[in-house]
Amino acid sequence: MKRIVTREDYVQSLKDLRSVVYYNGKRVEDVTGHPAMQPHINSAALTYELALRPENEDLMTAVSHLSGKKINRFTHIHQSVDDLIKKILMMRLIAHETGSCFQRCVGFDALNATYMTAYDTDQKHSTDYFERFKKYLLHVQESNVMVVGGMTDPKGDRSLSPSQQADPDLFTHIVERRPDGIVIRGAKVHMTGGVNSHEILIMPTQAMKEADRDYAVACALPLNTPGVTLIFGRQTNEERKMEEGPDAGNPRFGVVGGEAMIVFDNIFVPWERVFLCGEYDMTGLFVERFATLHRQNYGGCKGGVSDVLIGATALAAEYQGTASASHIREKLAEMMHLAETIYCGSVACSAMGFKTPSGAYYPDPLLANTTKHNVTRHIYEISRLAHDIAGGIIATMPFAHDLENSDVGDYVRKFLAGAGGVKTEDRMKILRLVENMSGGTALAESMHGAGSPQSQKVMYGRLGNLEQKKRWAKKIVNID
């Protein structure tokens, strides 16, 4: 594939890719022309656009440790604590520009998790996955493609292991091993940015046992591979993305990340793109590494998105004449406190990062899990306060088209007029933005993206060192 540098390159590459995509029961021939997908494309395109601005070079680009060339940071393998921190700063920067998900961080984390785990798998099993992956990584860096991080399987009956499922395809698995590669079948769900990405890097979704050997697979493939089908997921108020004017909410960048189900129907993958094949004892480490890297992000991207929501909420208060009230100022201060708290977590786990045997740097896993767990709580509280300040109007406001109606338009303008001469249209735009950013899909993604709260509590049990905490308590009161 031709190297992607500009926004125009990115859009053209999606036109050329022609992946099999379905939206609301219909095949989409060109995702770049579909109004439901345009906002997600715009958001991802900013990861290319911003990298070309000189003032962003330090955050948005890096130097490849493999080629020595300047690359987009979203294709980089972290080489220092400084890289880990710049990742978070970059994410907050982009979130300020979009007020939405920009989608490339999942693939970014998948690249880093696979790099580290391929190295460790080679050390334990005398395989050659690490060299294969480095060649694949060079391809990603040179072409600057957008990669989906393929972690989550449908899972079926979650009380059963992959090999115990009534339908074996509910976890992605190997159905054939050939001299030239493998054949896989299954699906990955909640795939952020799936319909506007170029490739998927598939990873195991959970720790596995010997009986699950065929499910222990990591590999990469282009999304236009025959047999791959992408089914776009519904989102809250998705029709708003097809509208212009005050009702759109976030008309340019939409809601969250355009998640999709990606189906693999007997897909051939050549050996050079296979990075785990049956080494079930490495799956737990693989999942933990990806989860830690992805949970590291959330204070950066959600902190940045929260900044925009806080700004929109403050404007809503100004437009209705309540901004000077002490309780409004107090609530806005609390929203800022919560946003900075989750941001602190991302910076802290990055600052406490360390070098792995592969040479790649890795954030502190306990602090990364704490960051994500705070997001599952604080984003809901930020949104609750936004609803409190903005008022019930965000749930009952008339349609923007009513403004254009000769019978009722004047009524809407008259009775929704803002304080101090604020135009009704401007007030409606801000209120719709608050609604867009503080409900439905956006909240669910904050809860379950990078793992539900329970998965972080599991990691607390593993990483929290409770026995050491008991020893400290005993020592203070002189218990042997």
C-beta separation of 314 from 434 below 8 A: no
C-beta separation of 267 from 473 below 8 A: no
Structure tokens belonging to residue 119: 């190295």
How far apart are alpha carbons 147 and 218 in whole angstroms?
Answer: 14
C-beta separation of 370 from 352 below 8 A: no
105 is catalytic: yes
How far apart are alpha carbons 63 and 70 in whole angstroms?
Answer: 4
445 is catalytic: yes
C-beta separation of 219 from 255 below 8 A: no
349 is catalytic: no
Residues 34, 78, 101, 114: which is the catalytic one?
101
Residues 238, 259, 318, 435: which is the catalytic one?
259
Q: Which residues of 293-324 are buried (b: 16+ CB within 10 A; e: fewer)?
A: bbbbbbbbbbbbbbbbbbebbbbbbbbbebbe
Angle between helices 283-319 and 365-390 (to 10 degrees): 20
192 is catalytic: yes
How far apart are alpha carbons 103 and 401 in whole angstroms?
Answer: 32
Helix, strand, or coil (residue 75): helix
How far apart are alpha carbons 248 and 263 in whole angstroms?
Answer: 31
Measured in degrees and rounded to the nearest 5, phi and psi for residue 455 equal -65, -30
Structure tokens belonging to residue 281: 């004892």
- C-alpha distances out from residue 108 to 37, 91, 104, 436, Å: 21, 12, 6, 26
101 is catalytic: yes
Which residue in the block uniquely carries the two structure tokens 């080489």? 79
> Hey, which bits of 290-395 come out as E strands?
354-355, 361-362
How far apart are alpha carbons 344 and 307 in whole angstroms?
Answer: 14
Q: Classify strands 228-232 and 20-23 as parallel, antiparallel or unpaired.
A: parallel
Measured in degrees and rounded to the nearest 5, phi and psi for residue 454 equal -65, -35
How far apart are alpha carbons 92 and 99 in whole angstroms?
Answer: 10
259 is catalytic: yes
Residues 23, 76, 105, 117: which is the catalytic one?
105
C-beta separation of 450 from 105 below 8 A: no
C-beta separation of 173 from 213 below 8 A: no
Residues 301, 371, 373, 376: which is the catalytic one?
301
Residues 152, 192, 283, 424: which is the catalytic one?
192
Neighbour tally for 326: CB within 10 Å: 7
Residues 34, 173, 294, 373: which is the catalytic one?
294
How far apart are alpha carbons 217 and 233 in whole angstroms?
Answer: 25
298 is catalytic: yes
Residue in 135, 60, 122, 115 with CA at minimum distance from that of residue 293? 115
C-beta separation of 222 from 146 below 8 A: no
Helix, strand, or coil (residue 48): helix
**Which residues form the catalytic set?**
101, 105, 192, 259, 294, 298, 301, 445
